[in-house]
Amino acid sequence: MRRVSIFGATGSIGQSTIDLIARTPEAYDVVALTGGRNIARLADDAVRLGAELAVTAHDELLDDLRAALVGTGTEAAAGESALIEAAVRPADWVMSAIVGAAGLRPGLKALEQGGTLALANKESLVTAGPLLMEVARAHGATVLPVDSEHSAIFQALVGEDMSAVERIIITASGGAFRDWPLADLERATVKEASRHPNWAMGQRITIDSASMFNKALEIIETHEFFGIAPERIEVLVHPESLVHALVGFRDGALMAHLGVSDMRHAIGYALNWPAREALPVGRLDLAGIGQLNFRHPDEARYPALRLAREVMARGGLSGAVFNAAKEATLDGFIAGRIGFTGMAGVVEAVLERIGSNEGLIDANMTLDNIRAADHVARSLADEEMRERAA
């Protein structure tokens, strides 16, 4: 029996992970599930899977969670320290699917236990890639990518030597507004930005797909995870979302990964790795699809891509700043404080204001320094949004 834990179990990735695990419950011992405000779902899944521990991120919901779990044999806990407690419970395989920088600490703690971390939480690589990979190395832990593009790259690299890799191409659907005239984007609403043409995902990543902040995070994720130079990473808009990534080798060969837009593929690959097991995902009918399209992204439409390149060039804690500024600005968009096209300007202003602060950006990559950089970035983003609203 494999001991597994799922951080962010109540979210989109968490639920897809549970869907896979629940198909062969005899194969898994579920250690901990964590969630947020959806106590009913967290408790139901914890009981159904026989989890040892269920954790809500919110202290004030502990009584509700306790009430839902009374007499079930699943322990209830709440708050940031309980998330860490969940992370230190020995498990062979841990899904990191909390959204945002909040996923970093539990992920690091899980790596310290030396098991396998299936990493959906790309923000932890953007925020602290070198630290995360170093902790994994130091504890003999394994990090497996779950983002669809990165799982695709990982699969295309099986049996290959990184030194033979010339370039990596990640694809982007273009998100909700890919066919909108540029001038209309200014008035795009939260509701419109929350409808993805090809993937069903959590709201935050869906909006990030429309702005391509998601792709910006993924360029950095590619750089951090695979250790490839920024200039060797390319992005192509591919509206069908069927080719997830391509790896180009020095002999000119391109290895592409294709599959339906279902995250259970990447999750299942990480769950069964290094084996491949049957998965309940659709099969591609290429003749039925007929054609696949690719084009270069329009940088005027997607300034986030340029910002990602600037962050990689700056290095240090600028990834933490970028991610935190992005998160705060996304909160601002969802709350109606800033328009859709205003987001990139806020993030850019924060990067500019902090970029010259060497004490902050070039500080050692420790959790305390990351937290400080994150904090400053969020308050500057807040200030920038306030100024723009005035």
Q: Residue 56 CA to chain centroid, in angstroms?
A: 20
| 119 makes contact with ligand NAD (CB under 6 A) | no
Q: Which one of residues 33, 169, 176, 201 is an interface residue with ligand NAD (CB under 6 A)? A: 201
Q: Residue 66 CA to chain centroid, in angstroms?
A: 30
Q: Report H helices in the chain.
A: 12-21, 39-49, 62-69, 80-88, 104-112, 122-138, 148-156, 190-193, 203-211, 213-226, 264-272, 286-289, 303-314, 318-334, 343-355, 358-361, 367-389
Q: Which one of residues 4, 5, 13, 228 is an interface residue with ligand NAD (CB under 6 A)? A: 13
| 57 makes contact with ligand NAD (CB under 6 A) | yes
Q: Which residue number, 364 or 379, has a Cβ lying nearer to ligand NAD?
A: 379
3-state secondary structure labels for all residues of 181-201: CHHHHHHCCHHHHCCCCCCCC
- For ligand NAD, the binding residues in 79-108 under the rule CB under 6 A are 97-100, 102
Q: Which residue number, 214 or 318, has a Cβ lying nearer to ligand NAD?
A: 214
- The pair of structure tokens assigned to 81 is 């320290």
Sign of CA dihedral 39, 41, 43, 46: negative
Q: How far is the CB of 329 from ligand NAD (least distance, A)?
A: 16
Judged by the rule CB under 5 A, the positions of this chain that interact with Mg ion are 147-149
Q: Which residue number, 318 or 323, has a Cβ lying nearer to ligand NAD?
A: 323
Q: Which residue number, 197 or 202, has a Cβ lying nearer to ligand NAD?
A: 202
- For ligand NAD, the binding residues in 202-221 under the rule CB under 6 A are 202, 204-205
Give the strand order in the sheet containing 116-119: 75-78, 53-56, 28-35, 2-7, 93-96, 116-119, 142-145
Q: How far is the CB of 162 from ligand NAD (least distance, A)?
A: 23
Task: Please give the DSSP secondary-structure letter assigned to residue 176.
Answer: T
Question: Could you give phi then psi for residue 53, rounded to 5 degrees?
Answer: -140, 135
Q: How far is the CB of 249 from ligand NAD (least distance, A)?
A: 26
Q: Which residue number, 106 or 303, has a Cβ lying nearer to ligand NAD?
A: 106
Q: Do residues 59 and 78 touch, judged by C-beta distance below 8 A? A: yes
Q: How far is the CB of 60 from Mg ion (least distance, A)?
A: 33
Q: How far is the CB of 221 from Mg ion (least distance, A)?
A: 8
Of 9-17, 306-314, 325-333, 352-360, which segment contacts ligand NAD by CB under 6 A?
Answer: 9-17
Contact residues toward ligand NAD (CB under 6 A) are 8-14, 35-36, 57, 97-100, 102, 120-123, 147, 199, 201-202, 204-205, 263
